[in-house]
Chains A and B, each alone.
Chain A
Amino acid sequence: MQKFIQHTGIAVPLDRANVDTDLIIPKQFLKSIKRSGFGVNLFDSLRYLDEGYIGQDCSKRKLNTEFVLNQPRYQGASILLARQNFGCGSSREHAPWALLDYGFRAVIAPSFADIFYNNSFKNGFLPIVLDSAEVDALFEFVHNNEGAQLNIDLQEQTVAAERAGLSYRFDIDDFRKSCLLNGLDEIGLSLQSADAIRRFEEKQRAASPWLYR
């Protein structure tokens, strides 16, 4: 897994609540059996004017110039600024894969859907929860300052907009934080508990034998 320690980049504001995973990466792209290559189809139905299909050359498609990601000032953005309940809907991990593949490293929102939030951490992609007023202030800052960057420091758990003198602290649980900081593989960590897993199984098998066949 890719480490996440510090990141500085342009933030793009996606001013819409309840952005669901079908919107992040529509289902026709879920047919891929790979983990990569989803970036060109991120927000496909919002970014392009036609219906996309898998394996297509997207450089020839008509862009929806009104969609924020297509605006010149946000090219190269690597931080997504979003509204409440971001990532609701399906459990597809293709959502964080697509965000990462596009070039995003983090998303900031007042709240996230649980499964999306969870999936993000497994991929070195950082979802940050700030309170609504703080998110509002960042939206305003990004809107008013073309090309301005945000700075995320995971060690310190802060998001800062230096030019405006804004700095906000965010919460994250210690286990996730250390996995991200060190780029640790969670499966390897869990397998260190192999003996405990076996002991659990022995006890369970004795108490509930019908669960094993």
Chain B
Amino acid sequence: MAKTLYDKLWDSHVVEQREDGTALIYIDRHLIHEVTSPQAFEGLRLAGRKPWRLDANLSMPDHNVSTDTAERAQGMDGIVDPTSRLQVKTLDDNVRAFNIPGYAMDDPRQGIVHVVGPEQGATLPGMTVVCGDSHTSTHGAFAALAHGIGTSEVEHALATQCLVQKKMKNMLVRVEGELGPGVTAKDLVLAVIGEIGTAGGTGCAIEFAGSSITSLSMEGRMTVCNMAIEAGARSGLIAVDEKTIEYFKGRPMAPGEEHWQQAVTAWRELVSDDGAHFDRVVEIDGSAIKPQVSWGNSPEMVLPVDALVPDPALEQDETRREAIERALEYMGLTAGQAITDIQLDRVFIGSCTNSRIEDIRAAANVVRGNKVAPTVKQAMVVAGSGLVKAQAEQEGLDQVFTAAGFEWREPGCSMCLAMNADKLGEGEHCASTSNRNFEGRQGFGGRTHLVSPEMAAAAAIHGHFVNVQDVIQER
């Protein structure tokens, strides 16, 4: 029978199928960070259990680390907030006690788990990948079955190398057509979420396909799968092609020469068969997508940059009307106002959605030779990993940013969720390349607008949103 990519990944990891429809699923890679693991290690200790298989785990601190260069140089002592420090230290202590492989805060390879996993080849096609973090969906870009889990499941994965799961439904999002100039993977996925809604993929694994998707680089594909969770899907998937295979050549944890051919042969099977059944199919015209900006407090509250902020009076549905009213109030916006009139206080380029080398290059291209607008209090670039940062510096991109007035910071989650010191003040508007615009996400009372790196860079220079397509045309 014709199978979807998801069917194949699922079938190849069933350890035991149970009568009630659940199955024990084997986990090939478990990524660990400091926020969702302390209670899991504690649970292991209390039950007198040991990790089942050490080499399947990879740990690193990312959420609480300081991104300030001077603070970072002081190691653990440089983390000013004692609760943050304790959490990072607890991870250090736990991984040492249980012998879990990983990168400590001062390791040059440290970074955001979802950036580092693929970068090291710790994520590979055909794997099952889990992490106590919802953006684990990112790794689906490599045809890995990847999803976020809670802390009980972190403990379960550590203790058994398995999880009890129920098979999800198959959903296909096909995006066809050439993306316009200045339109990125971020705009594509924001447009998809705007279309299907934040619960559009609930209960499903979404496979992204079509020419708009295959034309993306692996970095772009990661951006798309990263935000599958924002469409309600625990997993996003993209089939293997030559770009996928090429990506892993020479990565430290990828198969070496002795297994390379064998691995590639297996990886080539990781595509949905012709005629495979999807429970739901959504078709989107990629050529019609414009640069996107989110205006509200849910990632589905997103519009093309040349649009106007919605008017709740025009909304028929009562729950939705109230949601719009509440969002406008929280965001300090007026119905009918142009998106391009939104003034920015801060700009954040980073997060597991958009902090890879390609994102930084793209933003640098917009910034080069310009200055951050005087009305913008702070604009920062936070690379996703130590290696991304080093690569960017080698290309001189750090100079492009600092010359323009941007801060160039150490790798970590940073202002994506503001668990460290990088935060928005109350009422401040931020052009952010992250993935969530929930109330208070980037700081109490902070107002987040989700955009692509190019759009964030252009907004930093102008002090308000502009259509990056116009900026590109001027050149």
Give the most central of B36, B47, B323, B438: most A CB within 10 Å. B438
* A210 and B255 within 8 A (CB): yes
Please measure, in the bound complex, the distance between the C-alpha atom of A16 and the C-alpha atom of B439, giving whole angstroms.
Answer: 14
Knowing A20-B438, A175-B20, A190-B162 touch, does A209 contact B259 (C-beta < 8 A)?
yes
Partner of B202, one of A34, A45, A114: A114
* B440 and A173 within 8 A (CB): no
Please measure, in the bound complex, the distance between the C-alpha atom of A26 and the C-alpha atom of B440, giving whole angstroms.
Answer: 8
Partner of A211, one of B22, B127, B326: B127
CB of A146 within 8 Å of the partner chain: no
Residues on B with C-beta less than 8 A from A5 are none
CB of B161 within 8 Å of the partner chain: yes
* B149 and A22 within 8 A (CB): no
Taking CB as reference atom, which chain B residue is nearest A209?
B259
Contact flags A201-213 to B (C-beta < 8 A → 1, else 0): 1001001111111
Partner of A196, one of B16, B164, B259, B323: B16
Please measure, in the bound complex, the distance between the C-alpha atom of A114 and the C-alpha atom of B112, giving whole angstroms.
Answer: 23
Q: How far is the CB of A99 from chain B (nearest CB, A)?
A: 13
* B202 and A187 within 8 A (CB): no
CB of B80 within 8 Å of the partner chain: no
Residues on A with C-beta less than 8 A from B152 are 93, 119, 122-123, 186
CB of B159 within 8 Å of the partner chain: yes
Contact flags B310-350 to A (C-beta < 8 A → 1, else 0): 00000000010001001000000000000000000000000
Partner of B323, one of A18, A91, A93, A211: A18
Q: How far is the CB of A110 from chain B (nearest CB, A)?
A: 10
Residues on A with C-beta less than 8 A from B161 are 197, 201
* B162 and A31 within 8 A (CB): no
Give the most central of A26, A83, A190: most B CB within 10 Å. A190
* A91 and B36 within 8 A (CB): yes
* A191 and B16 within 8 A (CB): no
CB of B99 within 8 Å of the partner chain: no
Residues on A with C-beta less than 8 A from B53 are 201
Q: How far is the CB of A166 from chain B (nearest CB, A)?
A: 22
Taking CB as reference atom, which chain B residue is nearest A190?
B160
Q: How far is the CB of A205 from chain B (nearest CB, A)?
A: 11
Residues on A with C-beta less than 8 A from B20 are 173-175
* B160 and A173 within 8 A (CB): no
CB of B124 within 8 Å of the partner chain: yes
CB of A88 within 8 Å of the partner chain: yes
Q: How far is the CB of B97 from chain A (nearest CB, A)?
A: 14
CB of B282 within 8 Å of the partner chain: no
CB of B39 within 8 Å of the partner chain: yes
Please measure, in the bound complex, the distance between the C-alpha atom of A31 and the C-alpha atom of B109, giving whole angstroms.
Answer: 24
* A27 and B439 within 8 A (CB): no
Of the listed stretches B81-89, B207-215, B367-375, chain A binds B81-89
A153-205 residues with Cβ-Cβ distance < 8 A to B are 173-175, 185-187, 189-191, 193-194, 196-197, 200-201, 204
Taking CB as reference atom, which chain B residue is nearest A46?
B439
Knowing A18-B198, A196-B16 touch, does A190 contact B419 (C-beta < 8 A)?
no
A14-70 residues with Cβ-Cβ distance < 8 A to B are 16-18, 20, 22-23, 26-28, 30-35, 45, 51, 54-55
* B160 and A187 within 8 A (CB): yes
Q: How many residues of A contact B (CB 8 A)?
A: 61
Please measure, in the bound complex, the distance between the C-alpha atom of A209 and the C-alpha atom of B124, giving whole angstroms.
Answer: 13
Residues on A with C-beta less than 8 A from B28 are 211
Taking CB as reference atom, which chain A residue is nearest B166?
A173
Please measure, in the bound complex, the distance between the C-alpha atom of A85 and the C-alpha atom of B438, giving whole angstroms.
Answer: 14
* B266 and A208 within 8 A (CB): yes
Residues on A with C-beta less than 8 A from B427 are none
CB of A149 within 8 Å of the partner chain: no
Please measure, in the bound complex, the distance between the C-alpha atom of A129 and the C-alpha atom of B141, giving whole angstroms.
Answer: 32
CB of B436 within 8 Å of the partner chain: yes
Give the most central of B52, B132, B150, B298: most A CB within 10 Å. B150
* B234 and A31 within 8 A (CB): no
Q: How far is the CB of B268 from chain A (nearest CB, A)?
A: 14
Taking CB as reference atom, which chain B residue is nearest A26?
B440
Q: Please, could you name 25 A-B residue pairs with CB atoms under 8 Å apart, sorted by A? A: A20-B438, A30-B35, A31-B35, A32-B83, A33-B39, A33-B87, A35-B39, A45-B440, A54-B83, A85-B198, A88-B232, A90-B436, A93-B152, A96-B150, A175-B18, A175-B22, A187-B49, A187-B155, A187-B160, A191-B159, A197-B160, A197-B162, A201-B26, A209-B262, A211-B124
Q: Which 8 residue pairs of A and B lie closest in terms of their CB atoms, listed nearest first?
A: A210-B255, A122-B152, A93-B150, A119-B150, A33-B38, A91-B148, A51-B444, A31-B83
A interface residues with partner B (beta carbon < 8 Å): 16-18, 20, 22-23, 26-28, 30-35, 45, 51, 54-55, 83-85, 88-94, 96, 111, 113-115, 118-119, 122-123, 173-175, 185-187, 189-191, 193-194, 196-197, 200-201, 204, 207-213
